[in-house]
Chains A and B, each alone.
Chain A
Amino acid sequence: MKLELLNKTRLRLAALFKRRKLDRDLEDEVAFHLAMRAEKDRAAGTDAKAAGYAAHRQFGNVASVKERSREMWTFSSLEILWQDIRYGARMLRKSPGFTVVATLTLALGIGANAAIFSMVDWLTLRPLPIREPQQMTFLAFSRPAEDFNDNFSYPEFTEIRKQTTGVFSDEAAMVLNGGLDGLTVDGKTQPLICGFVSGDFFPMLGIKPYLGRFLLPSEGAAPGADPVVVLSYRYWKSRFSGDRTIIGKKAAINGHPVTIVGVGPPEFLGLTPIIEMQAYLPLGMAVVDTGVSRSFLTDLKSRTLLIFARLQPGTSVTQAGPKLAVVGQNVVQQFSRTEEHGALFAKPLRPPGIITGQNPIPRVSALFLSLAGLVLFLACLNVANLLLVRASARQREMAVRAAMGAGRGRLLRQLLTESILLALLGCGVGIVVGLNLTRAMNSLKFQTQWPLVIDFRFDWRVLAYAFGVTLITGIFVGAVPALRASRENLREILHEGARTSTGARQRLRGVLVASQVGGSLALLIIAGLFIRSLGSVQKAELGFNPQHVLNVSMDPREIGYSDQQGLAFYKELLRRVRALPGVQSASLSSAVPLGEFVGGDDLEIPGYKTSTGNPQPHAYCSGTTSGNLKTMGICLLRGRDLSDADQENAPRVALINEAMAQKFWPGQDPLGKQFTRASDPKHPVEIVGIVNNTRNIQLYGSFEEYFYFPFVQDYSPSATLQLRTEAPPETMIREVLGAVQSLAPTMPVFGVQTMTQALHGFNGLLFFEIGAVLAGALGFLGLTLAMIGVYGVMSYAVSQRTREIGVRMALGAQPNAVLAMIARQGGFIIAAGLVAGLFAAFAVARMVGDFFVGVTSTDSITYVGVSLLLSAVAVLAGYLPARRATRVDPMVALRYE
């Protein structure tokens, strides 16, 4: 048996290459036989011609013999496939209209899927470009109330590292100061995001620098020591346009001299998602005016470190668990981490990087993949229907082929090959579509000062996904018509010719239409909910007036200004700007509402008891100068505004918002009450005024507790100058920048935008807009496909019934009655689809209800509105062909066919 198989394979392989020779051999063998036989007969006295005939007669059917032999040594399935492909390609070429429409329809579906998947790929699948990324983790303490806390102090880091050498092969720490630092090269300063990392960071990652070197393990252990910096590849490309002589160049970080020693590899964007880490400095350099405590290397309470750890080879996070829990307990006791009740644990570092808090990415991914899948489903239905129509047209062809001896399986294969071929065409075009979509997404400009990277790529995973989706599409699209076509009663078709479609086919078409209506309804409802969410945040009561406000952000620390210099600079800048004509008021703020810089502090409030298990009282805050309320249009409800008299050494004062008043002093008068900030426990803060609630951190949910303190009493070098202008704020930009330049020519200004533009940032509208645009685009695509589909099916169904309609009208039926008849059937199908769609939408919306803001997942306006819209579209798409049918001249209809 084995031998046979081997022989077969050998012969068949030979056959593939030596097809000609084998054919000739077969030919020769048969010819030899015939010649010998004829010769023998001739020798016996028959004449030559008769002998030849006799030989043939005795031999039998030469062609059939050859065919049987040939079949034996061919890879018949492969060859049949090739035959099918060639035949299919011919059929597609023969009807270019159909091919183009079907290809484009599928291309839209497959392209949308590939594009969405490239997003998902980047956010969840593409491994971080480091050595053995599956071993990388980061450490955190679990918390009962929140998700976890991943901030550690340096002494804690060294202690943990000492106690976990058996668990991890490498451990490294990184300081993320949460702000931008200034990199000065050749007298020009630009803000960038820096990571301050311990010396073992790069060895742990196991990556190679593109140029120069990375930080050495010995670097960074002492404050301010080892002034070197490594740039990211992208930053180096964009700022220094790939200048290789940059290595060894003198530069300055926040005014402190450093040397550029290396450039990172191109694909490495850092371990944080979405935001690119643009430069790396030794951990000890974090003391150079980055806002990190100067004593953070020894301070037990300065918890600004993230700890990354690489598991020992062959161990898993679960195996490391018990050991870490013990170490965690030691650390909690040794360093009195009071707020933690949970255990120390290692969290796998998964793409796209370290995420603190709830990770919404898997669910967002699943949702958008499903929506894209739904679009493809609709596209498939359309094409399936087209194929179904073609299948009726090809009934005769199929019947003839079947009559010639083609088995049902063979016909099915032929049809499936054709539909997969079609899907592959769609895949090809779809990938081009998808590539362009991702390119468009990659080049989106966002209202942000941060180095936001969107890195969608068409890597092999995306291509594999697109290909897989294509195969499923091809089989799905082809299976329905194929199964049906090959099941037809041959004799009947051959006998009668393709005339009227059978009842079963009508029913199938009804199911197609209903699915189409249902699918697009579900899609549109989800899109509708996204759009309504965006609408609700757009209409959100801000509590301040964003019109006519200009924001200009800067950070004097980036060019090495001390706090005194910075304060003096800001004071003088305010004075000059306030004197500009057209400026109604000007003020400084350490954090703009809904901006990217968010300040907050834990509070100690006399008389306010925290219920057990809840975290300490906390409020968001910003430092502002006088005039802020006027600039932002915030109302002082009671008490007094901050004034220029609230100097650095004056008693600490603050304005609080209503939410804070209600939360911490319910039923009391907060004016004159005091609280202390965890960051400055020595100076109690007195509440001098209460202002209305404003949207500061996010555009939805309840208002956060918020307070404003005098800018000078807790200086923040990074600040935004805000102006309320008479004219449109854009017109003031030049004068304001001029004022900055005249005061400090090298001062980098990194955010110049109007307040209305700023609302589109990260914490503002950005994600709502992305959600609405993506879902809306998919919904629109779905609606278009459904419209075309319903129209197509109804047109065809009506055209199939032209004869019947003609008969009815010849017998006296009124056009309206005919119309009503068609409408009844169409209406029933559409209604069935609507009901199914409503249920589907409801199910999906419930699963992702928390993505929607300002609307519930059962928002009746969306459900009813979209249903009405879709039924209107469906009815119209069905009405047009129906009306055409009633215009048919009965005589024409009767002669039809």
Chain B
Amino acid sequence: MKEKKENPGDLLQGTLDLLILKALARETMHGYGVAEWIHQRSEDVLRVEEGALYPALHRLELRGLLSSEWGTSENNRRAKYYALTAAGRKELAAEAEYWRRMSGAVARILQTA
């Protein structure tokens, strides 16, 4: 079966994946933490529909880019923590490079126009 197309959210799928990988590059986090991180870093510019985060997390896990573990949160709740795997780091580097080139190109086009 081919996978269903993701719902078009506020963010492109690839972008969301990249943001998640970036969020997890420093430390392990649970899903809520990732959402908060994105909000803070983008100063609420990128409004992630928070639900969309989870299928993305699970898909990345399936692809072997993330690993997960159940743990206890800072306020003593059961929470699922995600961490970047080696493959995930590689992917992050590649995606980030690609994104830089893309945004640079788009910016140039917009300037010249």
Contacts and interface: CB of A to CB of B under 8 A. Distances in A.
B31 A29 contact: yes
A4 interface: yes
Given A60-B49, A60-B50, A60-B52, A32 B63 contact: no
A72 interface: yes
B54 interface: yes
B35 interface: yes
Interface residues of B, number: 29
Interface in A17-41: 25-26, 28-30, 32-33, 35-37, 39
A136 to B, nearest CB: 50
A35 B64 contact: no
A65 interface: yes
B51 A59 contact: yes
Given A3-B87, A7-B63, A33 B58 contact: no
Interface residues of A, number: 31
A8 interface: yes
A737 B61 CA distance: 92
Contact of B52 (A8, A29, A65): A65
Contacts of A243: none
Contacts of B80: 25, 28-29, 32
Contacts of A7: 61-64
Interface in A68-97: 68-69, 71-73, 76-77
A11 interface: yes
Interface string A1-14: 00110111001000
Contacts of A4: 62-64
A46 to B, nearest CB: 17
Contacts of B50: 33, 37, 58-60
Interface in B19-77: 30-32, 35, 49-52, 54-55, 58-59, 61-64, 70, 73, 75, 77
A29 B35 CA distance: 13
A65 B87 contact: no
Contact of A73 (B7, B62, B64): B62
Contacts of B35: 33
A72 B1 contact: no
A225 B21 CA distance: 93
Contact of A32 (B32, B55, B61, B87): B32
A33 B55 contact: no
A33 B32 contact: yes
B77 A65 contact: no
A64 interface: yes
A61 interface: yes
A868 interface: no
Nearest to B47: A58
Contact of B62 (A8, A25, A28, A59): A8
A686 B94 CA distance: 110
A32 B3 CA distance: 27
A404 to B, nearest CB: 15
A35 B73 CA distance: 12
A58 B49 CA distance: 6
Contacts of B32: 32-33, 36-37
Interface string A773-800: 0000000000000000000000000000
B54 A29 contact: yes
A59 to B, nearest CB: 5
A65 B73 contact: no
Nearest to A65: B51
A101 interface: no
Given A25-B80, A61-B51, A77-B1, A33 B31 contact: yes
A28 B62 CA distance: 19
Contacts of B73: 32, 36
B54 A32 contact: no
B77 A35 contact: yes
B4 A71 contact: yes
A847 interface: no
A100 to B, nearest CB: 35
A688 to B, nearest CB: 91
B51, B79, B80, most chain A CB atoms within 10 A = B51
Given A33-B32, A36-B32, A37-B32, A11 B51 contact: no
B78 A69 contact: no
A539 to B, nearest CB: 67
A60 B51 contact: yes
B23 to A, nearest CB: 14
A62 interface: yes
A775 to B, nearest CB: 48
Given A25-B80, A36-B32, A71-B4, A30 B54 contact: yes
A69 B75 CA distance: 26
Contact of B58 (A35, A58, A62, A69): A69
Given A33-B31, A37-B32, A72 B78 contact: no
A37 B49 CA distance: 13
Given A28-B78, A32-B77, A65-B51, A73 B30 contact: no
A7 B73 CA distance: 26
Given A32-B79, A76-B1, A64 B62 contact: no
Contacts of B79: 29, 32
A11 B68 CA distance: 13
Contacts of A76: 1
Contacts of A60: 49-52
A11, A33, A35, A61, most chain B CB atoms within 10 A = A33
B7, B64, B75, most chain A CB atoms within 10 A = B64
A73 B58 CA distance: 9
A12 to B, nearest CB: 9
Contacts of A73: 58, 62
A11, A59, A73, most chain B CB atoms within 10 A = A59
B109 to A, nearest CB: 33
Interface string B1-24: 101101100000000000000000
Given A29-B31, A32-B32, A72 B59 contact: yes
B50, B59, B80, most chain A CB atoms within 10 A = B50
Given A29-B31, A32-B73, A72 B51 contact: no
B84 to A, nearest CB: 14
A886 B6 CA distance: 58
A32 B30 contact: yes
Contacts of B55: 65, 68-69, 72
A579 B87 CA distance: 109
Contacts of A29: 30-31, 54, 79-80
A4 B7 CA distance: 22
Contacts of A65: 51-52, 54-55
Contacts of A37: 32, 50
Contact of A72 (B31, B62, B64, B75): B62
A61 B62 CA distance: 22
A266 to B, nearest CB: 50
Contacts of B62: 4, 7-8, 11, 72-73
Nearest to A67: B55
Contact of A69 (B49, B54, B63, B70): B54
Given A4-B63, A65-B52, A32 B4 contact: no
A51 to B, nearest CB: 14
Given A60-B49, A69-B55, 16 more contacts: A4-B62, A4-B64, A7-B62, A29-B79, A30-B54, A32-B31, A33-B35, A37-B32, A58-B49, A58-B50, A60-B50, A64-B51, A68-B6, A72-B62, A73-B58, A76-B1
24 contacts: A4-B64, A6-B64, A7-B62, A7-B64, A8-B62, A25-B70, A26-B54, A28-B78, A29-B31, A32-B30, A32-B78, A32-B80, A33-B35, A33-B54, A36-B32, A36-B77, A37-B32, A62-B51, A64-B7, A64-B51, A68-B4, A71-B3, A72-B59, A73-B58
In the A-B complex, list the 5 residue pairs whose CB atoms are closest, starting with the nearest. A60-B51, A65-B51, A68-B55, A3-B64, A36-B32
Interface of B: 1, 3-4, 6-7, 30-32, 35, 49-52, 54-55, 58-59, 61-64, 70, 73, 75, 77-80, 87
